[in-house]
Amino acid sequence: MTDGAGQVAECAVVRASGGVLRLAVRSRRVEPPADPTLVVVQALPKGDRGQLAVELMTEAGVDVIVPWAAQRCVTQWRGERGERALARWRATAREAAKQARRARFCEVAGLASTPEVVHAVRSAALAVLLDPGAGTALAALPLPSSGELVLIVGPEGGPSPAEVAALTGAGAAGAHLGPTVLRTSTAGVVAASVMLSRAGRWG
């Protein structure tokens, strides 16, 4: 069992009755934070595809997911509707982390504006903007061995020209995944898998 913040206890069930488990702790350990850390800025997909993206990225090992209100997003999070949507993303990440037996759960941050994403780009060890038209493949992009890696996944149709200019102007490198164009809800987990593997986080 885990607290989701790195504390892990190996336990044995000594009694089960009335829907209650009594456990005996056999050992304890602390899993350190991952380094490099992978943050995925995810433009809001339509419908329940956002929760699918969160589930897949959490299972893959993404450390932080940042919902992004990009200009071309059809979905908009406003007021109570936005609060409910964010709560669903966080619940999905929590359940997916348990399913994947993660000692450190994936954090789902609050909804970010483009200026806030630009700020994250400036403070990252490396920021990557997924762009099917980029001249560099994600698999060929040099990665730092430590620090925060920020991966930006745009909406269907891609970020607006103004957003691309702001993000690349702040230091984000454009990179493509391959010859096909993926939906925003699946591009994140595919790109995250490439980066986690190349960063040594996957065996």
Q: Are residues 118 and 169 in the same domain?
A: yes
In-domain check, residue 95: yes
Do residue 9 and residue 90 come from a single domain? Answer: no
| Domain extent at residue 127 | 34-198
Q: How many CA atoms lie within 13 A of 50 on its CB side?
A: 30
In a domain, 127, yes or no: yes
41, part of any domain: yes
- In single-letter form, the type of residue at position 18 comes to G
Indicate whether 164 belongs to any domain. yes
Note the pLDDT of residue 94. 95
* β-strand pairing of 20-30 with 7-17: antiparallel
The CATH number linked to 71 is 3.40.1280.10
pLDDT of residue 178: 86
Is residue 22 included in any domain, yes or no? yes
Q: Are 195 and 151 in contact (CB under 8 A)?
A: yes
Tokens 């391959």 appear where?
178
The answer to whether residue 203 sits within a structural domain is: no
Residues in the chain: 203
Task: Report the pLDDT value the prediction gives residue 107, as an integer from 0 to 100.
Answer: 97
Query: Whose CA is closest to 89, among 122, 55, 56, 57?
Result: 55
Read off the pLDDT of residues 177-192 as tens digits, 9 standing for 90 and up: 988 889 999 999 999 9
Is 167 a residue whose pLDDT tops 60? yes
Instruction: Please report how many Cα atoms fall inside a 13 Å half-sphere around the Cα of residue 35, on the Cβ side.
Output: 6
Structure confidence at residue 192 (pLDDT): 97
**pLDDT above 70 as % of the chain:** 88
Structural domain includes residue 47: yes
Q: Which residues of 97-112 are buried (b: 16+ CB within 10 A; e: fewer)?
A: beeeebbbbbbbbebb
**Residue 195's closest CA among 135, 126, 132, 96?**
126
Same-domain check for residues 17 and 69 = no
| pTM, to two decimals | 0.88
Round to whole Å and give the CA distance between 10 and 1. Answer: 7
| Exposed/middle/buried for residue 53 (C-beta within 10 Å: 0-12, 13-18, 19+) | buried
Instruction: Tell me the per-residue pLDDT of 116-159, one tens digit each, with 9 for 90 and over.
Output: 999 999 999 999 999 998 999 999 999 999 999 999 999 998 99
Statement to judge: residues 59 and 4 lie in one domain? no
Claim to verify: residue 22 and residue 44 sit in the same structural domain: no
- Of 92, 86, 80, the residue nearest 68 (C-alpha): 86
Report residue 98's pLDDT band, with 50, 70 and 90 as the boundaries.
very high
Per-residue confidence band for 10, with pLDDT thresholds at 50, 70 and 90: low
Give how many domains the chain has, as a whole number.
2
Assess if residue 148 is contained within a domain: yes
- Same domain, residue pair 63 and 105: yes
